[in-house]
């Protein structure tokens, strides 16, 4: 599934400047960050469930 993302042009250019040197593609990086975010949110949910018991 494809998704469109709106990015600040200045931030995008700076990201490309640094990521390009390391061979990092924006789609790979965004996907990784989204997975990290999901995992963090799941951990927070678990902590909340444990506290409410």
User: Tens of pLDDT along the chain (53 residues)?
Assistant: 888 999 999 999 999 999 999 999 999 999 999 999 999 999 999 999 999 87
Residue at 19 is within a domain: yes
Q: Which domain holds residue 43?
A: 9-52
Total structural domains within the chain: 1
Tell me the C-alpha distance between 14 and 20, whole Å.
Answer: 10
Residue at 41 is within a domain: yes
Residue at 2 is within a domain: no
* Closest of 11, 49, 43, 51 to residue 30, by C-alpha: 11
Residue at 24 is within a domain: yes
User: Which residues have a Cβ under 8 Å from the Cβ of 3 and sit 6 or more positions away?
Assistant: none
Residue at 39 is within a domain: yes
Residue 13 CA neighbour count, 13 Å, CB half: 3
Distance from CA of residue 42 to its chain's centroid?
A: 15
Q: What is the model's pLDDT at position 53?
A: 77
């Amino acid at each position: 599934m494809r998704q469109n993302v709106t990015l600040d042009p200045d931030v995008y250019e700076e990201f490309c400047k640094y990521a390009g040197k390391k061979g990092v593609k924006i789609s790979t990086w965004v996907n990784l960050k989204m997975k990290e975010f999901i995992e963090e949110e799941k951990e927070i949910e678990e902590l909340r469930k444990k506290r409410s018991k």
